[in-house]
Amino acid sequence: MWNGVLCGLLAGAMWGMVFIVPELLSAFTPLEMAVGRYTAYGAIAFGLMLPKLRNLLGRLEHSDYMALLRHALTGNIVYYMLLALGVKFAGVAPTSLIIGVLPISVTLMGRNDHGAVSLRQLALPLLVVGAGIACINVDVFQHASATGQPMLKTLIGVVCATGALLSWSWYTLDNARYLKRNPHYTSAEWSALYGLSTGLIAAVIGQTPEHVRPRVIGTLKKQLDAAVRRGTMRRIAPEQFIVNLMSLCIFPFAARPMIVAMLGFDERGFQQFIARRRRDLPAFFLGALRP
């Protein structure tokens, strides 16, 4: 029993370091900290999964790659960058408190899942948590005012911390639902793949933009110009091509609450909508580029 208690305390202390490190390493940007943190995570995951790497990679399907991509971004990189910004602008205490609401936010966002606790049973705990958050944020803004810190800076920090909470909450639910639909992966296998994918994305993001951007834009421009010369595509700037494609792919997930409310989707309906969109989007996008 005491070994379990000790392990729980150590785990909590190590998790708490995610809030302390941005304060200690204030000379580094949130992007730099995220890249360093998750490149190391990816390297460790690679070492642990190396004996099974070939077998695991051979089992991956297109949907698995897409799930790993969105989980690596929402559950790690974007989450940690928002957390670091929250610490930078609002401080450690309010950021840790807001993100500490994670169990409640996950419960609320997953309230329609099978076996979820009813909101009536959660009403009192939610009110208490909400009151606590309100009190701590009132103190944060009063402290900011007393120390002369701009109110807008503190507000930005609170918004970033809230964004980190929402990002990780969405990841938690989407990851759990995906594993339920794909029980052929064990939690250990999926965690290793998740770590490796995060490390690869962090390594790519960590490349100096001044070196990578010209190669990407230049290669894309050559391909677009060749298609224009063949008469299969109208002329479009590579920057517009990239932004249009990213917008079409990201918007359904970024605006998911609005889409669900407008179209009346439940979880299964939204997943079916995304599956149809995955099939229809390439033809729609390429069709819009034809002369």
pLDDT of 155 > 70? The answer is yes
Highest mean pLDDT: which range of 148-157, 193-202, 253-262: 193-202
Q: What is the pLDDT of residue 177?
A: 87
Which residues 6+ apart lie within 8 Å of 151 measured at CB?
A: 141, 144, 145
Q: What is the mean pLDDT of residues 185-196?
A: 87
Q: What is the pLDDT of residue 99?
A: 83
240 burial class (0-12, 13-18, 19+ CB within 10 angstroms)?
exposed
Closest to 169 (Cα-Cα) out of 253, 120, 102: 102
Greater confidence, 90 or 108? 90
Closest to 153 (Cα-Cα) out of 166, 136, 138, 141: 141
- pLDDT digits 0-9 by tens, 195-244: 999 999 888 887 766 666 777 788 889 999 999 999 999 999 988 998 89
Q: What is the mean pLDDT of residues 240-254?
A: 87
Ranking 95-104, 262-271, 282-291 by mean pLDDT, the lowest is 95-104
Q: What is the mean pLDDT of residues 128-144?
A: 68
- pLDDT digits 0-9 by tens, 15-55: 777 777 787 787 788 888 888 889 988 998 888 888 888 88
98 burial class (0-12, 13-18, 19+ CB within 10 angstroms)?
buried
Q: What is the pLDDT of residue 142?
A: 64
Q: What is the pLDDT of residue 225?
A: 92
Q: What is the pLDDT of residue 139?
A: 64
Angle at 206 between CA 54 and CA 237, to 5 degrees: 100
Q: What is the pLDDT of residue 215?
A: 77
Where are the chain's structural domains? 30-206, 208-291
Q: How many CB atoms lie within 10 A of CB 205?
A: 17
pTM of the model as a whole: 0.65
| H/E run at residue 10 | helix 2-24
Q: In angstroms, how far is the first alpha carbon of the chain from the final one?
A: 70
Q: What is the pLDDT of residue 1?
A: 65
- pLDDT digits 0-9 by tens, 120-133: 777 777 777 777 76
Share of the chain above pLDDT 70, in %: 88
